[in-house]
Amino acid sequence: MAETKLKTDVFSIGAIDWDRRLFDELIPLPDGTSYNAYLIKGNEKTALIDTVDPTKEQVLLEHLSSLGINSIDYVISNHAEQDHSGTIPKILKAFPNARAVTNAKCKGMLMDLLLIPEDKFVIVNDTDILSLGNKTLQFIMAPWVHWPETMLTYLREDKILFPCDFFGSHLATSDLYATDEARVYEAAKRYYAEIMMPFRNNIKKHMEKLKQFDIEMIAPSHGPIHNKPGFILDAYKDWISDDVKNEVLIPYVSMHGSTDKMVSYFVDALMKRGITVKPFNLTKTDIGELAKALVDAATIVIASPTVLVGPHPAAVYATYLANALRPKTKFASIIGSYGWGGKMVDTITGMLGNLKVELLSPVIAKGYPKEHDFTLLEKLADEIFNKHKENNIV
């Protein structure tokens, strides 16, 4: 995409990465992503807000060139992660008078990660302003979305919030704005689950703080821009609330069919009770979809066979991930099978320390499940149904 004008003298000049399929060597990117950067030309000074992933630095430089930019005074760094900061050294080299503007914490991280010299920085604090002449930037410290140094930048005259990762989505699209709301909602929810969910309580505080700002546009550093900010603000309000949905998430793996039989029986039992069920076969699933389902589910039931006395490694991975993402899930249980013994339940339970969940009775079958095991699965489905009902989870 070429550079694009958002308002008078405000431009989106980042890069779309249509082909990227993995982020941090961890997060699947089925829809690619973008690294958005923004240029603001005041009548006295020019500022660049964030840069792009180093693999796309040429795109950023070409956009600056096609706008005829031969001077940059400030590079605002909202976040030190390299997909936004990685091209700052190149910009500081191409524009030797430019200074990197950020908070003290971020400065330290940029020096550590990118070896930027200390004399290249201007340090700002919460509520500080930076005048570009007829345009004014205000800085809002917002630590832990999702690193400790994160901040947001607000352009007063145009009422645009530049929140970097916050409110973003991994979505490569030719749409400048979030016009296809259904598609952007799913991508933004997945992004929230993967990146922001562990910091839900910090995000709650930052959302409160943002109420004092008149925001007409939210221009994040990934995915489309929100020119109707109510859409993404409402979505975030829902995701960060304490409310959960009448849903049971079942990450599962089966080796010889015993656990698979229990899962399929249990899915039916829950469906008969009017509960939405989301089973994820861990040998096939996109882990991002599993993370997204964790945003709302009231209950998680991990299903695994016993391997070398413990859970199957795929179940360990899913449990570790669920625990690390700290969803607001309220109930958890374990189902599965074993051949001659083991500590599968103890191992999985011990990995759920971050979750504030009530543990419900596990159901573990010896070998292939039999009538007795199906009766216990019916009981567990009843217990989940009753817990959801008692807690007004609909």
Residues that bind ligand FEO (CB under 6 A): 79, 81, 83-84, 146, 165, 221-222
Least Å from the CB of residue 221 to ligand FEO: 6
CB closer to ligand FEO out of 111 and 113: 113
Per DSSP, 127 falls in state T
Instruction: Answer yes or no: are the C-beta atoms of 275 and 385 closer than 8 Å.
Output: yes
Instruction: Answer yes or no: are the C-beta atoms of 130 and 156 closer than 8 Å.
Output: no
CB closer to ligand FEO out of 198 and 336: 198
Least Å from the CB of residue 26 to ligand FEO: 12
CB closer to ligand FEO out of 221 and 254: 221
Q: Give the CA-trace dihedral at 25, 27, 31, 36, to 10 degrees.
A: -80
Which is it for strands 121-123 and 33-35: parallel, antiparallel or unpaired?
unpaired
CB closer to ligand FEO out of 73 and 83: 83
Count of Cβ atoms closer than 10 Å to residue 111 Cβ: 16
Least Å from the CB of residue 136 to ligand FEO: 26
Least Å from the CB of residue 83 to ligand FEO: 4
Least Å from the CB of residue 389 to ligand FEO: 40
- Cα–Cα distance between 332 and 380 in angstroms, integer? 11
CB closer to ligand FEO out of 86 and 369: 86
- Cα–Cα distance between 270 and 248 in angstroms, integer? 8
The CA-based angle 22-26-32, given to 5 degrees, is 20
Least Å from the CB of residue 37 to ligand FEO: 12
- Cα–Cα distance between 364 and 335 in angstroms, integer? 5
Least Å from the CB of residue 113 to ligand FEO: 12
Q: Which residue is nearest to ligand FEO (CB)?
A: 81
Q: Which residues of 240-267 are buried (b: 16+ CB within 10 A; e: fewer)?
A: beeebbbbbbbbbbbeeebbbbbbebbb
Least Å from the CB of residue 194 to ligand FEO: 11
Q: Which residues of 374-394 are buried (b: 16+ CB within 10 A; e: fewer)?
A: bebbbebbeebbebbeeeebe
CB closer to ligand FEO out of 51 and 319: 51
Give helix 258-272 / helix 371-390 axis angle, nearest 10°.
40
CB closer to ligand FEO out of 36 and 347: 36
> For 159, left (φ over 0), alpha (ψ -120 to 50), or beta?
left
CB closer to ligand FEO out of 56 and 84: 84
